[in-house]
Amino acid sequence: MEKILELFSKDKFSKNCGIKVIEINHGYAKCSMEITENHLNGIGTLMGGAAFTLADFAFSLAANSYGIVAVSTNAYISFLKKCMGGIVTAVASEISRSHKLGVYRVVLTNNLGEQIAEFNGTCFFLDSHNTENTH
C-alpha cells in the first residue's frame, strides 16, 4: 500500500482540495475533506464538483489498491442531502472486480454520519502497468 500512497501523494489537485487519506486496503479506501468556503457554491452548499472530486479520489485509491494501474471509464454521482460545512467522509468499496474491469461504490457522509451522496464508478485495469513502475 505504500507505493499506492506514494503515487497518490503526487496528486496536486486533491491536495489543493484538502483531501486526506484515512485508510486504504485492497478494494477499499476511506478519505475525508474539511469543507471550507472554497468548497461552497453560490447558495452556500457544498459544490457538486467538490463532492465528486472527493468521491473520485477515494474510488481511484480503492481501484488502484492492488498495484495495477486502474483508469476510470465511467462515473456518476447522486446528491441526496445538502451539506453546508464540516467534514465529509468518502468510503469506497469494491462491488465487482475481474481481470479487466472493476466496479466501485463510494458513500459520502457528513460529520453527523448522514449520507449526502452516492458515487458509482467503473474502471479498466491496465495489465501492462503496475504502480511500482509508474512515475
Domains of the chain in start order, with CATH, are 2-130 (3.10.129.10)
Closest CA to 116 of 106, 102, 127: 106
**pTM over 0.85, yes/no:** yes
Indicate if the pLDDT at residue 48 is higher than 90: yes
* Cα–Cα dist 60/52, whole Å: 12
| Mean pLDDT of the region 5-34 | 87
Closest CA to 81 of 45, 123, 50, 132: 45
pLDDT at residue 133, as a whole number? 45
Burial of 101 (0-12, 13-18, 19+ CB in 10 A): middle
* Neighbouring C-alpha atoms within 13 Å toward the C-beta of 26: 5
Whether the Cβ atoms of residue 31 and residue 86 lie closer than 8 Å to each other: no
**Tens digit of each residue's pLDDT (9 = 90 or more) over 76-126:** 999 999 999 999 999 999 999 999 999 999 999 999 999 999 999 999 999
